[in-house]
Amino acid sequence: MSTLRFQVVSEAFKKKALAVTAPGACTSEYYGRYVFGKDQMSKYLSKETLKVIQDVIEGGRQLDREIANHVAAGMKMWAMEMGATHYTHWFQPLTEGTAEKHDSFIEYAGAPGEGIIEEFSGKLLAQQEPDASSFPSGGIRSTFEARGYSAWDPSSPAFIVDDTLCIPTVFVSYTGEALDYKTPLLKALNAVDKAATEVCHYFDPSVKKVYSYLGWEQEYFLVDEGLYAARPDLLLTGRTLLGHESAKNQQLEDHYFGAIPARVQAFMKELEFEAYKYGIPCKTRHNEVAPNQFELAPIFGETNLANDQNLLIMSIMQRVARKHGFRVLLHEKPFAGVNGSGKHNNWSLGTDTGVGLLTPGKTPEDNLQFVTFLVNILMAVYKHNGLLKASIMTAQNAHRLGANEAPPAIISAFLGTQISAVLDKLEASTSEEAIMLDSKKRMRLGVARIPEVLVDNTDRNRTSPFAFTGNRFEFRAVGSSANCSSAMIALNSAVAAQLTEFKATVDAKIASGETKEKAIFEVIKSYIRESKPIRFDGNGYSDEWKSEAAKRGLDCETSAPLIFDAYTSKSSIDMFSSLGVFTEKELEARNEVKWETYTKKIQIEARVLGDLALNHIIPVATRYQSLLLDNVYKVTKIYDKEKAAKLSAQDSAIIEKLADLIDKIEVNVQKMVEARKVANRISSERDKAIAYHDTVLPYFDVIRYNADKLEMIVDDEMWTLPKYRELLFIR
């Protein structure tokens, strides 16, 4: 009898929803309590310091030591009043999630041993040297100079977790290369601000800054903690490597937007209370398509801050879930046969004057600006579609893309019929029709009125990886466990480079005597024509699209290790280096990290799969087989030959079936181990990752197929691993 499985199942059934109480009478009362935000700053910093630091935050000036000291003093006072005893530089290495090393505030008051004081100087706030040697760097930093340093990013406020003051920082090597996600993200955001502001000046010279906005939607699964612990694959890889589909999964579509189960509801409530304390504006919570799958989305915000908040909430989720007896699965594809999890990145640009550059305007003047940005974005996505795919690709997300539930492994853009019609009309217009000047000499869109309410935003094509949804693009291909920065660096950089090129082309036309209106129109028109291959409103899941996309010259590569090559293509290197976001060396180093991470993920999964097959599946199957053999033997002892053969026919057939399946599993596990050995001997990270993809990964499906068949035959009471129906339906 499989005692552990039945024990955890019965315990899971007994668990009740925890009572959760709000931290205050209304949300605004405790919102941002753990964050050193504007309110806290104005309480703990002098007026002068506050003014300077706000300027630093807006990017208007550099942080100097004196100001850092003042800020550190105020921050320390606040943190200590909040009960903090430690501080940490909180950074985003190229592994998953965030990293931190805690130091306490204590220092000797005088000579060693003479009592202690709490200290936190501007120096400690501004810069630290965590031992960086064990973070992936793709060989940028050889171990003898294993020092990288972390430096405060004042544009993201410090916050307190438990007893620790966390300071969001960038993480760079001593030679200046980025070792993290935040450094290039800040550079990309700066680049898009600069390029977009200049383009805005064609329409409105008063614009001083353009913000990039991000609204992520975090999907996740919840699994009862006991069941989770009884599945070595979930524990070690975050996904199930085996498991026959449950008879019922998501066919009835009864989970999506259904009533939220009580235990989950309690978890969500507490998660939101926690999020509010950190100033994360959670707005939406609901069930997702798959059983035990859920989603959480805040109101969008400035991209760098929104991304920090996403990383923070992923760790808060884990903590709160454990309190409620759950584990959160952030993996992109924890279960075969039901939907995986993504993290749609809703993205837009907006000016400091409050205009959404992707919001169709109320007036024809604004609409011209809208069309200009829209068309430039299409061009950027067209030119860099391979790179954008690389930016969201990981070993985990590869399971989700192209699996008839998530976007295909081809990047295209969905605009909807109305916006498409506007572009078509513009393409067929003359300059005189298209752009007109009003009485105040302001440019306006002459043709093609853009309706304020876009009808097809409601039926939004869910198969599109990059869809226009009324006032933003939704980059849907991003994976649920990802650091959104990866996608946001690629997208904002590609758009920044494109806008820069647009501006240069228009300016050159103006310099050669063209009117501004005509120059803008002509360039837009040529872009509409050129970027057409990226526009696709049809069914992205269909096979026709795959062959059509190949004809259009879009990147159709499906192998993750080869997809990463897009980072070091000439167009990517030129684009990133022209903006100062990445050097060629950084791109190469980061790809090394990607290949290495890919290999390690598959390697770990392969080991776990081998272990499950040999130590869980086969022993159980053999035991069941011997039970049947025993029965057959006894039957022959009791009955005559003919009767015995008749009575044991069924058992004999199963015995043979079991033997066959067991044999197939054993043989393929052995072959997989051999393939791994061969792959491990390869020294190039790229070639090794390719070998893992091409020669190790294919065994996963074969082994699984046979193991899942066994699951359907073997006595349920003997089966040790919690089954899909238990993982997906107990809550």
Residue 631 near residue 715, CB atoms below 8 Å: no
Distance separating alpha carbons of residues 657 and 655, to the nearest angstrom: 5
Residue 472's binding partner among ligand ADP, Mg ion, none (Cβ under 5 to 8 angstroms by kind) is ligand ADP
**Candidate ranges 268-276, 296-304, 574-582, 708-716; the one touching ligand ADP (CB under 6 A):** 296-304
Distance separating alpha carbons of residues 687 and 595, to the nearest angstrom: 9
Distance separating alpha carbons of residues 625 and 297, to the nearest angstrom: 50
Rounded to the nearest whole angstrom, what is the least distance from the CB of residue 133 to ligand ADP in the complex?
Answer: 38
Rounded to the nearest whole angstrom, what is the least distance from the CB of residue 281 to ligand ADP in the complex?
Answer: 8
Distance separating alpha carbons of residues 376 and 369, to the nearest angstrom: 11
Each residue 454-493 as x (binds ligand ADP by CB under 6 A) or -, in order, gives: -----------------xx---------------------
Residue 219 near residue 317, CB atoms below 8 Å: no
Rounded to the nearest whole angstrom, what is the least distance from the CB of residue 358 to ligand ADP in the complex?
Answer: 6
Q: Judged by CB, which is closer to ligand ADP: 137, or 212?
A: 212
Give me the amino acid identity at 330.
L
> How many residues make contact with Mg ion (CB under 5 A)?
1
DSSP codes, 166-225: EEEEEEEETTS-B-BSHHHHHHHHHHHHHHHHHHHTTT-TT---EEEEEEEEEEEEEEEH
Q: Exactly one of 346, 498, 572, 599 binds ligand ADP (CB under 6 A); which one?
A: 346
Q: Exactly one of 299, 428, 437, 667 binds ligand ADP (CB under 6 A); which one?
A: 299
Give the up-direction half-sphere exposure of residue 377: CA atoms within 13 A in the CB hemisphere: 27
**Candidate ranges 100-108, 219-227, 298-306, 589-597; the one touching ligand ADP (CB under 6 A):** 298-306
> How many residues make contact with ligand ADP (CB under 6 A)?
14
Residue 577's binding partner among ligand ADP, Mg ion, none (Cβ under 5 to 8 angstroms by kind) is none
Q: Exactly one of 300, 373, 536, 576 binds ligand ADP (CB under 6 A); which one?
A: 300
Place of tokens 């749609």: 344
Q: Judged by CB, which is closer to Mg ion: 344, or 400?
A: 344
Angle, in degrees to the nearest 10, between helices 570-579 and 584-612: 120
**Candidate ranges 25-33, 297-305, 318-326, 615-623; the one touching ligand ADP (CB under 6 A):** 297-305
Residue 213's binding partner among ligand ADP, Mg ion, none (Cβ under 5 to 8 angstroms by kind) is ligand ADP
Residue 471's binding partner among ligand ADP, Mg ion, none (Cβ under 5 to 8 angstroms by kind) is ligand ADP
- Tokens read off for 195: 């390029």
Residue 590's binding partner among Mg ion, ligand ADP, none (Cβ under 5 to 8 angstroms by kind) is none
Give me the amino acid identity at 223.
V
Task: Give the strand pairing for 466-468 and 301-302.
Answer: unpaired
**Candidate ranges 110-118, 140-148, 210-218, 589-597; the one touching ligand ADP (CB under 6 A):** 210-218
- Measured at the CA of 490, the angle between CA 485 and CA 496, to 5 degrees, comes to 115
Residue 348's binding partner among Mg ion, ligand ADP, none (Cβ under 5 to 8 angstroms by kind) is ligand ADP
Rounded to the nearest whole angstrom, what is the least distance from the CB of residue 377 to ligand ADP in the complex?
Answer: 13
Restricted to residues 337-366, the positions that interact with Mg ion (CB under 5 A) are 344
- Tokens read off for 405: 């539930």
- Tokens read off for 374: 């829209």
Residue 495's binding partner among Mg ion, ligand ADP, none (Cβ under 5 to 8 angstroms by kind) is none
DSSP codes, 570-625: HHHHHHHHHHTS--HHHHHHHHHHHHHHHHHHHHHHHHHHHHHIIIIIHHHHHHHH
- Give the CB-nearest residue to ligand ADP: 215
Phi (first) and psi of residue 438, to 5 degrees = -90, -175
Binding of residue 472 to Mg ion (CB under 5 A): no
Distance separating alpha carbons of residues 296 and 219, to the nearest angstrom: 7
Q: Judged by CB, which is closer to ligand ADP: 175, or 284?
A: 284
Q: Exactly one of 74, 93, 136, 215 binds ligand ADP (CB under 6 A); which one?
A: 215
**Candidate ranges 23-31, 169-177, 344-352, 624-632; the one touching ligand ADP (CB under 6 A):** 344-352
SS (H, E, C) 488-538: HHHHHHHHHHHHHHHHHHHHHHHHCCCCHHHHHHHHHHHHHHHCHHHECCC
Rounded to the nearest whole angstrom, what is the least distance from the CB of residue 317 to Mg ion in the complex?
Answer: 19
State how far the alpha carbon of 661 is from the alpha carbons of 147, 613, 626, 665, 708, in Å.
52, 11, 15, 6, 10
Binding of residue 297 to ligand ADP (CB under 6 A): yes
Each residue 352-371 as x (binds ligand ADP by CB under 6 A) or -, in order, gives: ----x---------------
Rounded to the nearest whole angstrom, what is the least distance from the CB of residue 297 to Mg ion in the complex?
Answer: 8
Residue 318's binding partner among ligand ADP, Mg ion, none (Cβ under 5 to 8 angstroms by kind) is none
Residue 550's binding partner among ligand ADP, Mg ion, none (Cβ under 5 to 8 angstroms by kind) is none
Q: Judged by CB, which is closer to ligand ADP: 284, or 404?
A: 284
Binding of residue 348 to ligand ADP (CB under 6 A): yes
**Candidate ranges 293-301, 404-412, 479-487, 674-682; the one touching ligand ADP (CB under 6 A):** 293-301
Residue 300's binding partner among Mg ion, ligand ADP, none (Cβ under 5 to 8 angstroms by kind) is ligand ADP
**Candidate ranges 13-21, 180-188, 342-350, 527-535; the one touching ligand ADP (CB under 6 A):** 342-350
- DSSP assignment letter at 693: I
Distance separating alpha carbons of residues 556 and 542, to the nearest angstrom: 14
CA dihedral of 312, 344, 692, 582, whole degrees rounded to 10:
-70
Distance separating alpha carbons of residues 369 and 349, to the nearest angstrom: 12
Q: Exactly one of 203, 213, 699, 724 binds ligand ADP (CB under 6 A); which one?
A: 213
Rounded to the nearest whole angstrom, what is the least distance from the CB of residue 217 to Mg ion in the complex?
Answer: 5
Place of tokens 């509409």: 528
**Candidate ranges 209-217, 234-242, 505-513, 558-566; the one touching ligand ADP (CB under 6 A):** 209-217
Q: Judged by CB, which is closer to Mg ion: 244, or 344?
A: 344
Restricted to residues 610-669, the positions that interact with Mg ion (CB under 5 A) are none
- Give the CB-nearest residue to Mg ion: 344
Other residues' Cβ atoms within 10 Å of the Cβ of residue 48: 10
Residue 330 near residue 341, CB atoms below 8 Å: yes
Rounded to the nearest whole angstrom, what is the least distance from the CB of residue 701 to Mg ion in the complex?
Answer: 30
Q: Judged by CB, which is closer to ligand ADP: 215, or 291?
A: 215
Q: Judged by CB, which is closer to ligand ADP: 7, or 284?
A: 284
Q: Judged by CB, which is closer to Mg ion: 324, or 344?
A: 344
Each residue 163-202 as x (binds ligand ADP by CB under 6 A) or -, in order, gives: ----------------------------------------
Residues 6+ apart with CB under 8 A from 39: 32
- Tokens read off for 11: 């315990």
Residues 6+ apart with CB under 8 A from 543: none
Q: Whose CA is closest to 386, among 533, 512, 503?
A: 533
Distance separating alpha carbons of residues 389 and 384, to the nearest angstrom: 9
Which residues sit at the interface with ligand ADP, rule CB under 6 A?
213, 215, 217, 284, 297-300, 346-348, 356, 471-472
Q: Give the footprint of Mg ion on this chain (CB under 5 A).
A: 344
